[in-house]
Copies of this chain bind each other. A is one copy, B any other.
Amino acid sequence: MKLPAHELVYRKIRDKVLFGDLSPGQAVTIQGLAEEIGVSMTPVREAIRRLTAAGALEFMGNRRVTVPQMDENSFAELVFAREAVEPQLARQACMRVNSQVISQLRAIDQEVNQAIEAGDVPEYMYQNYRFHFMLYRHADSAILEPMAQTLWLRYGPLYRIICGKWGTANMVDLHAETVSALEKGDAEATAKAILLDVQQGFEIIRNSFQWS
């Protein structure tokens, strides 16, 4: 079970983006990352290529690689895409999950709530991610699930800024709705619950972010 170095590097950098360790506009260098992680440049280069292909990173000019800045247009597109993709994933997942998965989801939801109460932003973001993709994984989807992944990669850095500014105080947890829809096996209700979750997350950002 030994994963290749480029895969480990990829996951490490991806998580940095996903959970907001890197903020929009921040530049990274291949050599810098190579030194930091303790590998040669080649595996880092490959990880960077994958991440730029996924939109998690962006080439600026011909030398610098940065976390993409998001403007109002891109933000609107991100909303549009997540609202299209994620409810559909939830719909498909609902038809496939068993009761064991549902209890796992409920357990993760507990973690989310605890993180909110504790005001632990990184933990909240991590557990929230876990909840969504634990669900989406069971959609058994080769197309939509990777799309959702790339959308979250764009969403992460932005969301991190908001959470850092406001804390977890005004985070409302809409996962209970989702879990109860799953228990009933109601695919449409599940899709609707996820749609609301997505919309609510974006409301928070929209209201508390001034687009320079």
Contacts and interface: CB of A to CB of B under 8 A. Distances in A.
A3 B123 CA distance: 42
Nearest to A55: B146
A140 interface: yes
B46 A143 contact: no
A42 interface: yes
A71 to B, nearest CB: 8
Most B CB contacts (10 A, CB to CB) among A46, A68, A73, A143 go to A143
A77 B140 contact: no
User: How many copies of this protein are present in the complex?
Assistant: 2
State which size class the interface on A falls in. 20 to 34
A142 B68 contact: yes
Contacts of A85: 81, 84
A26 interface: no
A46 B50 CA distance: 8
Interface string A84-120: 1100100000000000000000000000000000000
Nearest to A83: B84
Given A80-B88, A84-B84, A49 B141 contact: no
A143 B45 contact: no
Interface in A178-205: none
B144 A77 contact: yes
A158 to B, nearest CB: 12
Given A77-B141, A141-B77, A52 B50 contact: yes
Given A80-B88, A85-B81, A55 B154 contact: no
Contacts of A151: 143
A87 to B, nearest CB: 11
Closest 4 CB pairs of A and B: A77-B143, A53-B53, A84-B84, A50-B53
